[in-house]
Structure 1
């Protein structure tokens, strides 16, 4: 390929790259509706696109506002612009340079419904409010999907695992899960289950003892903000089969019988030899009989 051809090829490639970048429209992706536990926090996942080349954080500005009134700002880097109801309760978790506009609302209140919309600004150049991609928050006083495994029977001495889990929307401050079982060392996991929902779970492995029978196992879940819930399940422990109460008396009886048998054997042997001596004339009666006969002569 000639030098002129190489230059032309590079020019075409650059045109394709710039065309693909410049052809991007303003677009935001959010979860349209999300539940939130009051007094806790809720994280609103958000990503966005804008036309032109990708910019650093310093060249972009993020604003969140209500859909009804765009001047009611719930997040702004200038905190004086935020309405009183949301002051010190909102934090931008996403990085604008990575086209992430995720927002956290802390200390959720019953009237934090929204809808809330994101607006991106390129100072002194452009701005766009994503009014078709807003988020409605549904505050609730009760946590969702609290679950604790229930076991019908536990085998004494056999390891068994229990799982306690809960769904939440506050991954920046996940719930803490504790157990009532002493000296427990549970495994804790947090995972994203999509659409702004997360799951916190704790796995407890224990070895049931006889003393655990007819007691209760309690899982306590404490949420960011102070809300606490407990779940309890009864423990039914099946005792391990123990035959000592049968083996010991039987062994004692067999031992006694064996000892008695041995004694009887030796005693019968002794008496048998004595009887044989008497019958053979070597015994006491035989000697007396011979002495009597000699005197008569």
Structure 2
């Protein structure tokens, strides 16, 4: 292989003055895949002192020298000359030399290609080599892993973009990038040029993260076509999603009813990123919510009343509220209940009150009717009225017979629903003796007393109830 040697310009030209005969621009390093190709981005310029000597109109030859720029004693270091048809390396200069573009592609790269390379131009009368700027080619059997970058904070509910880039030392064909994410996403791929003129493939994925994606892995995989097969490399990254407190819960220990004077401990737990900075405790009593403490745990001495408690967890992104937990007091007659329980109890009490009034009205009408027809009924016959009265009377007592001649004056007393049985009331017994008065009870519903209306108004009330 014939290579034109530069004229003798004196031994001290580069050393003494530090001048470069040729100024090339190339990457410092290229990572190449075995069996693939490598493209060397390259451009050059001529020093001012040689502007008159260099003529771009003259056909230029590009030469690549391996290992060392000194090739006079080692001509085998010249591995490629664009003016020759037979070269050690199979390749071509794809750049326009007349425009000072010396970009070159080498094919079928092997591990023996790993070395430093220098560029030289030859054009009469100008011959020059850039001995100060080599490119270092590193060949490996496995491709380099792609790189994942995040644009901005990954925050719950806010769309975010992730970028994955992989070097493309051989631009034809470039590597293919694929994603694996724990959610739906959209992608956009493009081949781009880097600042050092090398090529890379960039894939951008856009998605909206949830707190459920926190600490989940994402993967970007680069697939490099090499001959009839593929070689792959991947990059895994764990998502760091910022979100407000989730799954906030309050617990009480001990959970069973406790005695007055003992201590209980309430603990709040929550999941958040960044971690919770403030826990606050609240108590619900008599329909009012009051802040009682702050901190992860809350210890209190039990007094005479229990209560409903809940906690709030807060970080820089928001807050989360727990469900309510009940502090029950051992032996206490009163327990804190939810408002819905109180409404249900009140409804049941009202229903029982109305039922009792209806029963009283029915019994009064039945008693009057029985007094009018008793002369027509055989002694001891069990009529429906007698059956009802018997069920309401005390065992061993006969059913009452209302007075027929005197108008009834009705009085009201107390009836405890917990002791209500099917027996004759004291008022009925007194009515049998006196024939003039009957006593009925006052209704006691869950500790509160409700006065029954006078008997004179029962017929009208009964008519309203039975509508």
Q: TM-score, normalised by structure 2?
A: 0.41
Pairs within 5 Å for 1:1-297: 27-31=22-26, 33-39=28-34, 40=36, 41-49=38-46, 51=52, 55=56, 59-66=58-65, 67=69, 68=71, 69=74, 72-76=78-82, 78=84, 80-83=85-88, 86-87=89-90, 90-112=91-113, 113-121=115-123, 126-132=125-131, 135-141=134-140, 143=143, 146-148=146-148, 159-167=159-167, 169-170=169-170, 173-181=173-181, 184-188=185-189, 190-195=191-196, 197-207=198-208, 216-223=217-224, 225=226, 226-233=230-237, 241=247, 258=343, 261-272=346-357, 275=360, 277=361, 283-285=365-367, 288=371, 289-291=402-404
The 1:210–1:266 alpha-carbon spacing in structure 2 relative to 1, beyond 3 Å, is same
What is the root-mean-square deviation of aligned Cα atoms in Å? 4.7
Measured against aligned partners, the alpha-carbon deviations of 1:233-266 in whole angstroms (never above 9, x if no partner) come to 45689996599xx79xxxxx87676456435324
Whichever of the two has the greater Rg, that structure is: 2
Deviating beyond 6 angstroms after TM superposition, the runs of 4 or more aligned structure 1 residues are 154-158, 209-215, 235-239, 253-257
Report the number of matched residues: 250
CA separation in 2, counterparts of 1:131 and 1:235? 47
Which structure 2 segments of 5+ residues have no match?
A: 1-19, 250-322, 325-337, 372-401, 408-467
Which structure 1 segments of 5+ residues have no match?
A: 1-24, 248-252
**Contact 1:118/1:134, CA 8 A, preserved across alignment:** no
CA separation in 2, counterparts of 1:70 and 1:265? 113
Tell me by how many angstroms 1:267 deviates: 3.6
Q: TM-score, normalised by structure 1?
A: 0.60
The 1:172–1:194 alpha-carbon spacing in structure 2 relative to 1, beyond 3 Å, is farther
Measured against aligned partners, the alpha-carbon deviations of 1:81-104 in whole angstroms (never above 9, x if no partner) come to 323xx12xx222221232211212
CA separation in 2, counterparts of 1:147 and 1:74? 33
**Who is 2:453 aligned against?**
none
SS in 2 for 1:94: coil
More RCO (CA 8 Å, sep 6+): 1
The 1:196–1:143 alpha-carbon spacing in structure 2 relative to 1, beyond 3 Å, is farther
